[in-house]
Amino acid sequence: MIKNIFQQSEKLLFICVFIFMTTLVLRTVSLYGATRTVGAVNFTNHTGSSGLQYLSTALPESITATLSQIKNINVVERGQLTAVVKEIELGQTGLFDEKSVKKTGKILQADVLFIGSYTGNPVEVILSLKAVDVKTGRVLDGKVVKAPLKDLFDSTNQAATSMSAIISGAAIGTLSITTTPDGADIYIDGLPVGKSPIIETKLPEGKHTIKAVKSGFIEAETTITVGKNTRDTWSPYLAESKVRNRTDIGANVYYFIPFNENLKAAPLYAIFLGQSFQRLYMGAEIGYSRIKHDLDISSPFGTLTQERWYDYFLIQGHLTYAPFEINSYLQPYFGIFGGWGYLVDYRKSSTHSDDEEKLSSQHIWSLGPKAGLTIAPFSKVSLFLETRFLFTPQKVERKVYESRGILGGLEEKQTVYYFNAFSIGGGIKLYFN
C-alpha cells in the first residue's frame, strides 16, 4: 500500500517537472521567436559590366556570413546552392515566382530566401535586396542600397542585418536614429547597421544597445527597450572630440606610500615631457623624493632614534591610453611606467662636517601600472590626478645598527627588503600646441 502511494507520488512529481520544463521551453521560444533558416541565392548583375559580375556571388556570401551571427537565424551554406541555381535560374533572370521560390526553399530547406539584383557602376552601385518567405512567396522586407563600390559590402550587410528582425519572425518595433551631426556609424547590439540618419529600422521586441560612432566626435551609447509595434527614436548630440597630437611639459607631486613599515610616506616631486598621439601618450619623467626610514636603537641610555633617509632619484618612461572622454572636461586614462632609480642611504652624523653620512647607494629598477583622470584635457593647461603602483623587482639594502650596551659602539647589520609603493598625486600640464 505504502509502496503504491510512493510510486503514485513519483509519477506525479515527474508529470509536474515535465509540465514545468515544457512551459519554460515554450515560453523561451515565444519570447525569442523560432529559429528561421535563411539562404541567399546569387544576385543578378544588371550593370552590363563583366568586371562587376563577381558581386553576384560575393554579396550573398557576405550577407550569409553576417546573418550567421544573429540569434534565431540559421544560414544555409552557400555551397549547397550550386545544385539548385541552374534549376530555378533565379540567378540568371532576377525574376522569381512563388513556385520557383518554394521549390528552391524546399531543396535548401530554408524558410527565407534573400534575392537581389544590382545595377550602376563602381562610383555608385544600386542593389535591390528582398527577403522572401519560402512558404508563401511573400516579400517579407526589402531594401535598396546605394553605395560606392568600396562601401557596398558594408552597406549591404547593414541592410541585411536590419532586415533580420522581420526574418526571425519575432515581434518587432521600429527605431529611428538621428545624430547631430549626421553620418555617424550606428551599431545595434554590436552589429553595424548603417550611418545615421536611420529611419524606422525594425528591431525584435526587447532591450537593445545602440551606439553612435563618428570620427572626431565623442561616441554616444544608450539602451532602448523596443516593444511590439512601438516606434522609438534616439537623437544623440555628438560632442566634438578634441583629441589630437600634442606636446606637453609639466610638473607633478605624489604622495609616495611605501609598503615596507620601515619607510615613511613622503612627497615625490617630478617634472616631465610628453607627446600624445591621439589617445596614446608617451612621456619621460625625472623625479626626486626624500624618504625617511629612522632607526630606533634600544640601548642602556634609552631608545635612541637614528635619523635616516633615502634620497631617491628616478628617471621613468610612461605610456598611457585615454580610451574615451567622460565629457569635454574629464578624460580618464590608464597606462604603465618603468625606469631606473638611484637610491642613496644617509644618516645624521656628528662626526661629519655636513652633518650627514652617506651609508650606501644602489641602482633600483621599477615598473608598474597607473591610472588617472585629466581635467580640462583639451585646454592649453590641464590638471591631472593619478595613482600608481611602483614595483621593484630587486630588493633594497638597508644597514641597521644594534647597541652593544656599554661595550663599545653600534653593531652594523645589513638587511634587505622590497621597495614597492603606492603613490597618489597630481600635477599640471602645459601644452605647446
- Report the residue number, 79 or 409, with the smaller CB distance to other proteins: 409
* Beta-carbon-side half-sphere exposure of residue 162 (alpha carbons within 13 Å): 27
User: Cβ 358 to other proteins, closest distance in Å?
Assistant: 15
- Report the residue number, 323 or 409, with the smaller CB distance to other proteins: 409
- Report the residue number, 48 or 300, with the smaller CB distance to other proteins: 300
CA neighbor of 87 nearest in space, from 42, 53, 132, 142: 42
Is 143 in contact with 162 (CB distance < 8 Å)? yes
How far apart are the C-alpha atoms of 191 and 165, rounded to whole Å? 13
CA neighbor of 293 nearest in space, from 415, 183, 428: 415
Cell of 20: 514545468
User: Cβ 261 to other proteins, closest distance in Å?
Assistant: 21
Residue 387: Cβ within 10 Å count: 15
- Report the residue number, 107 or 410, with the smaller CB distance to other proteins: 410
User: Cβ 312 to other proteins, closest distance in Å?
Assistant: 22
- Collapsing DSSP states into helix, strand and coil, what is residue 417? strand
DSSP 138-207: -EEEEEEEEE-HHHHHHHHHHHHHHHHHHHTT--EEEEEE--BSS--EEEETTEEEEESPEEEEEEESEE
Q: What is the dihedral of CA 22, 23, 26, 28, to 10 degrees?
A: -110
Kindly list the residues in this chain that would bind other proteins in the complex (CB under 8 A): 297, 299-302, 304-307, 347-351, 401, 403-411
Is 60 in contact with 40 (CB distance < 8 Å)? yes
- Report the residue number, 303 or 433, with the smaller CB distance to other proteins: 303
Query: Which H or E run includes 234?
Result: strand 231-234
How far apart are the C-alpha atoms of 430 and 433, rounded to whole Å? 9
- Report the residue number, 407 or 416, with the smaller CB distance to other proteins: 407
Cell of 89: 535560374
User: Cβ 398 to other proteins, closest distance in Å?
Assistant: 16
User: Cβ 259 to other proteins, closest distance in Å?
Assistant: 26
User: Cβ 267 to other proteins, closest distance in Å?
Assistant: 25
User: Cβ 416 to other proteins, closest distance in Å?
Assistant: 23
State how far Cα 65 lies from the chain centre: 23
- Report the residue number, 97 or 402, with the smaller CB distance to other proteins: 402
- Report the residue number, 87 or 357, with the smaller CB distance to other proteins: 357
User: Cβ 399 to other proteins, closest distance in Å?
Assistant: 13
